[in-house]
Amino acid sequence: MTALVSDARGLRRVIRLCLGVVIAGLVVSGVTAFPLREELALAREALRFTGVAAFAPAFTGWVDRVGEGLDATAAAFPFIAYGTDWLAFAHLLIAVAFVGPLLDPVRNVWVTVWGLIACAGIVPLALIAGALRGLPLGWQLIDISFGLVAAVPLIVAFVATRRLEALEGRRAPVTGR
């Protein structure tokens, strides 16, 4: 995509589009982390209504088990959901961090790099924590896919930012001096 764009305006458009996708994904992830029980109840109903349960019983069984766990935890320890509220808030805060490179991609390229590092960090976290917490491997792979999917627009934004930097003849500021 960036190979097709050679002017600063086009590169900025590509960067904004890519970062917009990442921001939107983070916002959706954040907002949907608040009503987990309600969403899972809807998902359980949808699985039964669409007949997925018939040809994917292991998947449906896992979703049911998670739903039962959330219901039991909410009944006995409702304050535990506060942790997912903070998870939701963290997603929204991370989305805000990408406003910097959205406005000035060259100066804030470090945020894009930080996002790529976070995407890479999802892989060992999902595999290690998922295994320790007893999550099925398939579910861990779904979690890993979020990092891989987010990495694609971030890589495109990074490449476009470096091209924009070269085109404009300016360098990102070096910190730590």
Residues 56-115 have pLDDT tens digits of 899 899 999 999 999 999 999 999 999 999 999 999 999 999 999 999 999 999 999 999
Residues 152-163 have pLDDT tens digits of 999 999 999 999
What distance in Å separates the CA atoms of residue 149 and residue 161, rounded to the nearest whole number? Answer: 19
Residue 29's closest CA among 122, 81, 74, 95?
95
* pTM strictly above 0.75: yes
Residue 95's closest CA among 158, 153, 19, 161?
19
Structure tokens at 75: 């009944």
CA 158 to chain centre: 17
Q: DSSP code of 7?
A: S
Q: H helices then E strands: how many in the chain?
A: 8, 0
- Characterize 52-82 residue by residue with b for buried, 16 or more Cβ atoms within 10 angstroms of its Cβ, and e for exposed: ebeeeeeebeebbebbeebeeeeeeeeeebe
Answer yes or no: is pLDDT of 176 > 60: no
